[in-house]
Structure 1
């Protein structure tokens, strides 16, 4: 596995062999976000959040309701107080 510091507050993990994206980690609270396709068994997983909702294509939507954040709202959660 290879780590990439994508910002002051987050890092990404990649496979060293194939460069596949494995996770996105928020450093502040050690919260990981992983593609659901990494798991053989998705039973019990709940899709309840979307980020960068303001950048999604118009044809892209899901049947269930989710908690949605725009890019600005997401970055505001991790902004360093001035």
Structure 2
């Protein structure tokens, strides 16, 4: 299911990086893998945005960390906000939900990588849970 809001904006904590997203976006999954939990401080929730519908201002402030052979994560070099995840060569960039300005119009749809979730919390919202992706 796609959200009816067609244009959204996002920014890092300090505002050095600003993002515009055009067009409808799918609902999102929360990732509970160990890398995402370390990256975000808890659960990573983001929405994939096709690169041709994504405009980023302040790209010089983005630092990319290659977190695996297939993916990298982007953060602000000024304030440290964790903002992006992208699979190498996939054609879209996941934008962190916490960086998107309200109203987002997005809804969490499912949980992924729950077999790797932290032992300090339970997932009890009734949404589908995938052991992996």
Q: Give the TM-score taking structure 1 as reference length.
A: 0.65
Match of 1:23 among 84, 91, 95: 84
The 4+ residue runs of structure 1 with deviation greater than 6 A are none
Match of 2:72 among 1, 4, 11: 11
Matched, 1:61 2:123: yes
Counterparts in 2 of 1:39 and 1:25: CA distance versus 1, 3 Å: same
**RMSD of aligned alpha carbons:** 2.2
Structure 1 residue runs without a partner (length 5+): 75-82
Q: Given that residues 67 and 73 in structure 2 are in contact (C-alpha distance below 8 angstroms), is that contact kept between their aligned partners in structure 1?
A: yes
Structure 2 residue runs without a partner (length 5+): 1-61
CA shift, 1:18, in A, is 1.9
Higher relative contact order (CA 8 A, sep 6+): 2
